[in-house]
Amino acid sequence: MRRYLEGIPGVDAVGLEQRAASLGTRSIKTSSKKLALDRVIELIDLTTLEGSDTPGKVRSLVAKAITPDPSDPSCPQVAAVCVYGDLVPVAIEALGAHHAPRAKAHGVTGISVAAVATAFPSGRASLAVKLADVADAVAAGADEIDMVIDRGAFLAGRYGEVFEQIVAVKEACRRKDGDDAHLKVILEVGELVTYDNVRRASWLAVLAGADFIKTSTGKVTSNATLPVTLLMLEVVRDWHRMTGEKVGVKPAGGIRTSKDAIKYLVTVAETAGEEWLQPHLFRFGASSLLNDVLLQRQKIRTGHYSGADYVTID
C-alpha cells in the first residue's frame, strides 16, 4: 500500500490552480442560469452539525429541505439532510413520506438522511468506538454515513491503518436486507496541507471502497476549494476509466454563494463529465448556500432582488 501510494506522481500545483481558475471564469447564459440554480439545490446536503443542535432545529432543517421556497412550488428539494447520528430518527420522522433513501439516484423524488460518524470531526478514537458510532447511525436508519479519516495516521505514513479503517467502516455500513448505507469518506483537506497528500488520500479512499470522497468537515479554517475539488474529480475520473466504477465527490465547507456553486458545476462537467451532476455522484455540503441560491432564483422570477428576510434563517 505504501509503495503504491508513494508511487503516485506529484501534483503540478501551478497547472492545477491555473486550470481551476480558468474553469471558474466560464460563464453561463442567463437562459440557463435558473436550470443551474435548480441543479445546485438538487445537489445540496443541507447540514446542521453543531453541539447545540436540537430536535426542533432538525425539524426546521427538514421542513426547509422539503420546501426550500414556499413562495415557489417549482423549487426542487435538496438531495439530503446531514445531521449527527443521534438525530437521525428525528430527521427520518420529520421527512415522513419525503424520505427516500438515495431516491434521486433513480429519478424518484425523495430526500436521504446522512449522518456524520467515526468520532467526527477529529477522527481521533479507537476503531471499536468508530465502528460503534457507525453501527448506531446505520441502525437508526441513516442512508449515508460521512466518516472522517485519521489525519494523524495518514500524515505519519500509516496508510495501511487508514485503509483498513475505511474498509471496516464500509463493512459496518452493510445491512442484512442489502440496503447498505452509502459511505462518504472525509479527507479534511485543510489538514492534509499539500495537493500531493490530497491526491494520495483520495486514491486511498477510493481503493478502500468509498462511495464518495468528501473534502472537509467544515470545522477547520481551510475547507473546500476549487483546485482541491478539481484534483479529487480527476481521481474519480481516472478511477472510472480504469475500472468502470463511479465514485462521487462532495465539496463541503465555505461554499456560500450561487456564483461559487456554479463554478463547481462547470468544473464537474468539464472534468468528470455531465453524468456526474447527479445526487448519487456529486453533492454540496452546505448550510448557508441554499439561501443565496433561493434569492438568486427569486431575482430571475420577479426581476428584482429580495432581502435576506425573504428566506428562512438556518
**Annotated active-site positions, please?**
146, 214, 250
Distance separating alpha carbons of residues 290 and 283, to the nearest angstrom: 13
| Cα torsion angle, 251, 16, 162, 150, sign | negative
Cell of 6: 508513494
Please state the φ and ψ torsions of residue 15, each to the nearest 5 degrees.
Answer: -65, -40
Decide: 161 and 168 in contact? Cβ < 8 Å: no
Cell of 208: 478502500
Decide: 172 and 132 in contact? Cβ < 8 Å: no
Q: Name the residue among 35, 57, 8, 21 with its Cα closest to residue 235.
A: 8
Question: What's the one-letter identity of residue 188?
Answer: E
Distance separating alpha carbons of residues 181 and 134, to the nearest angstrom: 10
Q: Name the residue among 71, 7, 64, 16 with its Cα closest to residue 230.
A: 16
DSSP annotation of 71 reads T
